[in-house]
Amino acid sequence: MDIAIPLFDRFTALDAIGPYEVLSRLPGYRVTFVAEQPGVKTTDNGMLGLVAEKAFAELAHPEIVVVPGGIGTRALMHDATMLGWVRTAHATSQFTCSVCTGSLVLGAAGILDGLEATTHWASMELLGSTGARPTSRRVVEQGKIITGAGVSAGIDMALTLAARVAGDAVAQAIQLGIEYDPQPPFDSGSLEKAPPEAIDLCRRVERAVDDGQPVRI
């Protein structure tokens, strides 16, 4: 069975690779990176290229879709090809998922109307503009739609999805395989917990990124 992760210019690498690392270990599934045209897609900071192996048209009906985020999703909200692929895939998918601002794409495709969904903390308002009901929970399940919060939340989202697809024991074995026993040196991963100086630094970066600058503290 197929898990499709769409790539596009200026995606955020960890949004895609967190779920990939979890879901590629699911028995019976294969992860494929797709794009409008196959080839190398470059991340938000221009420092890395990932290969999209297949065109959207070659994988129109994957069992699972995971849309990553990144500043590139702003353009995708008006991209008829991407939105059409998401709608078509969602019509027959077992699960349709997103990480970070990937939910803006699901929202723009019209599949979050009236549903709770999450995104990066800096994009909640924009998510609301798509018709979704933004919530700051880390993983939000609404039937077959699962959205994850910013960047690293894709790992938690994917473990939740793995449990739905293959049961708790498989998800737990995957968690052990990737040794996901988080011990960050700080407790600064949310607006509620981060110190004011870190929030100021980070908000400045978010504004700069909105203005077309690279993601850099």
Active site residue ranges = 100
CB of residue 67 to a copy of itself, shortest distance in Å: 17
CB of residue 80 to a copy of itself, shortest distance in Å: 27
Looking at the Cβ atoms of 55 and 163, the one nearer to a copy of itself is 163
Looking at the Cβ atoms of 111 and 149, the one nearer to a copy of itself is 149
CB of residue 110 to a copy of itself, shortest distance in Å: 26
Residues 103, 135 contacting (CB under 8 angstroms): no
Looking at the Cβ atoms of 96 and 156, the one nearer to a copy of itself is 156
Distance between CA atoms of 215 and 208, rounded to whole angstroms? Answer: 8
The gap from C-alpha 212 to its chain's centroid, in whole angstroms, comes to 21
Distance between CA atoms of 111 and 102, rounded to whole angstroms? Answer: 12
Least Cα distance to 190 among 126, 137, 117 occurs for 137
Amino acid at 176: L
